[in-house]
Amino acid sequence: MARITRLQKEIFDLHLEAFKNNSFKQSSFTVEGETPKQTLKRLRDALMKRETIESVWNYVWTKEVSITSQVMASNQTFRHITDKAVVDTRKGFKNLLNSRLNIR
């Protein structure tokens, strides 16, 4: 499996900081009546502009990170993001950016 690229790491790092500081630029990324192809193009363009999108983070976070790590990182619990959660989320971002959005 290929390593994460510099661009992918930059996008991931921006999202990680936004998560830590609760400072995402956008919360959701859906537009009613838009086709999936249009949405993916808009999403790709936004990520290439280094915008942080909470729904993208949440998608990867819930798909890739264990429930235990999610609870540890939640605002209501310890607010501690484990190293394993960071590694798992980085892998999820790499997979999403490679496969769905063609950002390399």
- pLDDT tens readout for residues 55-90: 999 999 999 999 999 888 887 677 788 999 999 999
SS3 label, residue 71: helix
The percent of residues in the chain predicted with pLDDT above 70, rounded, is 97
- Reply yes or no on whether the pLDDT at 30 is more than 70: yes
26 DSSP β-pair partners: 53
0.85 exceeded by pTM: yes
Work out the number of other CB atoms within 10 angstroms of the CB of residue 93: 26
The pair of structure tokens assigned to 17 is 């900081």
pLDDT at 1: 57
The helix (run of H) or strand (run of E) holding residue 65 is none
Q: How many CA atoms lie within 13 A of 93 on its CB side?
A: 30
> Taking the domains of the chain in order of start, what are their residue ranges?
6-22+33-99
Cα–Cα distance for residue pair 46/88, rounded to 1 Å: 23
- Give, in degrees to the nearest 5, the angle at Cα 88 between 72 and 52: 85
